[in-house]
Amino acid sequence: MGILIRSVARAMVAVLAAALCAVVTAVSGGVTAAITLTATALIVPGTAVPNPANVPGYMENAVDYYISPTTASCASVCTPVPVPYIAQFWPFPWEGWGGLDGAKLDESVASGVAQLTSDLVGDNNPSADSPVVVFGYSQGATVAGNVKSLLSKLPAQDQANINFVLIGNPNRPNGGLFERLAMFGTVPILDATFGQPTPTDTEMSTVDVAFQYDGVADFPLYPVNLLAVLNATAGFWYTHGSYLAPDGRNPDALPNGLTPAELAAAIADPAHQQRLPDSDTTYVLIPTVNLPLLQPLREFGAFTRTEFLTTPLIALIQPALRVLIETGYDRSMPYGQPAPFRLIPRFNPITVTADLIDAIGQGIRDATAATGAAPQPVTAVHDGASANSTPTTVRQATARSVRQRSTQATPPSPASASATASPGTVEKAEQRPGRKTAGRGTNQSIRSAAA
């Protein structure tokens, strides 16, 4: 009897041990899977937001609007982590910018670079199992671009574990305000450094998103076009701060007037994308439905309840204004090509005149439709956008813009010019041929690169 009991006991112990091993294996396997599938998004905020964790919706919208749709590592599970820093810009007096008591731009950016670098060598050290996406907005994009330049010293296999998503980037090579001002270098007293375009020759996949006419990321190339400069200035006020709306700072707005679904469709649309051969960056320019320059008139009409007058007026003049404003840009130049200010606009006056005539006719039709005297046209505007147009119809209109010199609204494909860009799809953490993933050990490499 005793022998039987001992045999049964041994059998039960063996069964329990086997079950325990199975549980441990399953749990460890689940943890490994979680580690493999979970990425980290380091959120570097813009000016006046020293800590994005303190603004409701800020980090969530960054992930949902821009990071998850464009990076494979964050497509399913992505943990946002705030990157706090000074985030000020002396001497501008706007709320949160610091005013005369605030930090100067270079000091503020340096604090962000130090914090982001510390995060990358600390708890958020990237590896093949734990990739990292660095997200930068406005001044935060400047911070991210500086760190990207430092990380370009890493071995290619380590760079492959890091991706960048930038929005409203003032250092966008063609369009960014800080690159337009490159001839000034570091400005004394202001202590602001211009002319440091975000690098595009690394192994770190990057997506750079800008709204058309954003005065920070899509500033005119030719400042002699005062109409374009005024429109971009209005774009800074009305458009630049809307990328992450609605959030705790801007609860009643939408990103550039688009719903989240419309924004996602605009980012994914190949017609809005551009990438140079051998570049690590995909550029996205999202068309702006209504000219920022006319927004004060819209607000005046809403405030005085005179939309019955202002709406047809806006519809009448907007297409022609858009044609004239577009002569302040050269849309045939790739967005990855550094382009400081230029003085003499390059466009074909014959095609501009033809476009202007078409736009005037379109404005008359739009104004007539706005008064209710005729049905709204269903075709896309030729070169301008109606004040009452939907984002879908305007997408085609604004993508064309003015046919400048090359008479192309987007750069020709590499087959026609090796130095120009071709549109493509937004890559999701694409790995280039020859890339290898790396295990832990990036920590020390990042320290060395940043030194």
Catalytic residues: 138
Phi and psi at residue 11, in whole multiples of 5°? -65, -40
CA–CA dist 276, 443 (Å, integer): 31
Contact, 141 vs 166, CB < 8 A?
Answer: yes
Report d(CA 203, CA 181) in Å as an integer. Answer: 27
What's the CA gap between 83 and 137, in Å, rounded? 12
At 107, list the tokens. 């000091």
CA dihedral angle for residue 285, residue 290, residue 292, residue 298, rounded to 10 degrees: -160
How many Å separate Cα 373 from the centre of its chain? 40
Contact 90, 105 (CB under 8 A): yes
User: 221 Cβ partners below 8 Å, 6+ apart?
Assistant: 174, 180, 328, 329, 330, 333, 339, 341, 342
For residue 124, CA distances in Å to 24, 41, 118, 129, 131 come to 26, 9, 9, 12, 9
